[in-house]
Amino acid sequence: MKFIVQRQQLISSVQDVMKAISPRTAIPILTGMKIEAKADGIILTGSDSDISIESFIPAEEDGMINVEQIEEGSIVLQSRYFPDIVRKLPEKTVTIQTDENLNVTIQSGKAKFNLNGQDASEYPQLPRVQTDDSFEISSDLLKNLIRQTGFAVSTMETRPILTGVNIKIENETLSFTATDSHRLAARSIPLEGTRLDSSNIVVPGKSLNELSKILDDKGEKIEISVTNNQVLFRTKHLHFLSRLLDGNYPETSRLIPDQSQTVLHIKTKDLINTIDRASLLAKEERNNVVKLTTKENQLLQITSNSPDVGQAAEEVSIQSIEGEDLKISFSAKYMLDALKVIGNEDVRIEFTGAMRPFILKPVDDDSILQLILPVRTY
């Protein structure tokens, strides 16, 4: 195998593929990166058996030569050293060559490295996702869906299904839902022209988080295909494959209150800043709890109290309040996480009592919903 590749292209592909490689894996060869040279370009592959990523560098694209002098072949390189070597090479192009003894030479300008490779035939074959069950979405929209829900997945393995995001298609609507049983984040968008009547899968939150880091904001199309136990996200030059979580995701719609006793409209940024300041003294407490109390003259009071540290109190103006007066305590962290992804200047908060879950939505937009369980403080 031999080829000469543009170093910048190689760095970019290596960084993407590294997101799937873990030093802790039961299959030793998976700590390496597979490199395959074909007539039309180079394929880099990384996998930890939960996530697999393939990145393709086309030999030529839009009149630009990315890879030349290709002699076909494949090798597995130690991912511990290869990315650092590539990043620090001096010239704009890199020559990579292997011999029959699996020795690999990496050369750029006057810098030359010899690495021991491994036989690529021992690298596990990635499952090929062949399915008619697929739909398309733009990369910036997918990133937003992940950002607005993925943070609410559970980090506890006691209920593995809750460590994933529930992705559902129903009545031409795509919805993402995540919950750790103390809070819930949901976002839905219309999906026009999809042939899928229904699809209901749970993708590990970790997989979506890594996918989000790779996707660009340019709005390129991503094809999402689902089979029994895998989901494939495919762009022009990238295949991102993740296993799915087994089991049924809990029916979350019944958690969402259908009536409210107190409704507030408030500037999102004002509330974020106030809660952020109040939480400075609540950090010592286990749940980072702050208390919200409605006051006269359209004011809210946000307070925190830590017996060993001290107290904080601040009032913030609200645009409108309907319904009953209220005192409620909640995790400042959960509230800040929810407010930061609302994506609107104004937020509507609907309360159904001091010990019932409350919901946050952007004003005039029902496609995003955040739900938080209050904390009992007395």
Does the pLDDT at position 284 exceed 70?
Answer: no
Region 213-228: mean pLDDT is 88
Domain presence at residue 210: yes
Number of domains in the chain: 3
- Domain with 310 in it: 256-372
Same domain, 276 and 187: no
Domain presence at residue 377: no
Same domain, 325 and 270: yes
Domain presence at residue 330: yes
CATH of the domain at 179: 3.10.150.10
Q: Which of 75-79, 104-108, 250-254, 280-284 has the lowest mean pLDDT?
A: 280-284
Same domain, 193 and 305: no
pLDDT the model gives residue 286: 66
**21-25 LR contacts (CB < 8 Å, sep 24+):** 21/46, 21/47, 21/48, 21/79, 22/48, 23/80, 25/49
Same domain, 243 and 267: no
Chain-centroid distance, C-alpha 66: 30
pLDDT the model gives residue 309: 83
pLDDT the model gives residue 278: 92
With beta carbons less than 8 A apart as the criterion, state whether 333 and 279 touch.
Answer: yes
Q: Which of 228, 253, 278 is the last residue of a domain?
A: 253
- pLDDT per residue over 297-353, tens digit each? 999 999 998 888 889 999 999 999 999 999 999 999 999 999 999 989 999 999 998
Q: Which of 253, 277, 297 is the last residue of a domain?
A: 253
Same domain, 285 and 351: yes
Looking at the DSSP bridge assignments, the partners of residue 289 are 331
Domain presence at residue 129: no
Same domain, 8 and 117: yes
What sign for the dihedral angle of Cα 258, 264, 265, 269?
negative
Q: Which of 201, 226, 253 is the last residue of a domain?
A: 253
Same domain, 105 and 161: no
Does the pLDDT at position 285 exceed 70?
Answer: no
Domain presence at residue 127: no
Q: Round to whole Å and give the CA distance between 138 and 309.
A: 48
Q: What percent of the chain has pLDDT over 90?
A: 79
Characterise 41 by phi-psi region: left (phi > 0), alpha (psi -120 to 50), beta (else): left
Same domain, 217 and 294: no
Does the pLDDT at position 234 exceed 90?
Answer: yes
Q: Round to whole Å and give the CA distance between 321 and 266.
A: 9
Region 52-59: mean pLDDT is 96
What is the average pLDDT value for the chain, to the nearest integer?
92
pLDDT category, 198, cuts 50, 70, 90? confident
Q: What percent of the chain has pLDDT over 70?
A: 97
- Six-digit token pair at 288? 């980072």
Domain presence at residue 31: yes
Same domain, 195 and 271: no
Same domain, 175 and 284: no
Same domain, 117 and 161: no
Residue 114, class by beta-carbon neighbours within 10 Å (0-12 exposed, 13-18 middle, 19+ buried)? exposed
pLDDT category, 5, cuts 50, 70, 90? very high
pLDDT category, 129, cuts 50, 70, 90? confident
Domain presence at residue 244: yes
- pLDDT per residue over 87-115, tens digit each? 999 999 999 999 999 999 999 999 999 99
pLDDT the model gives residue 244: 95
pLDDT category, 378, cuts 50, 70, 90? low
CB environment 7-24: b (16+ within 10 A), e (fewer)? bebbeebbebbbbbbbee
pLDDT the model gives residue 213: 94
For 144, residues 6+ apart whose C-beta sits below 8 A from its C-beta are 187, 343
Domain presence at residue 16: yes
- pLDDT per residue over 24-53, tens digit each? 888 899 999 999 999 999 999 999 989 999
Characterise 143 by phi-psi region: left (phi > 0), alpha (psi -120 to 50), beta (else): alpha
Region 273-302: mean pLDDT is 88
- pLDDT per residue over 130-142, tens digit each? 667 788 999 999 9
Same domain, 241 and 157: yes
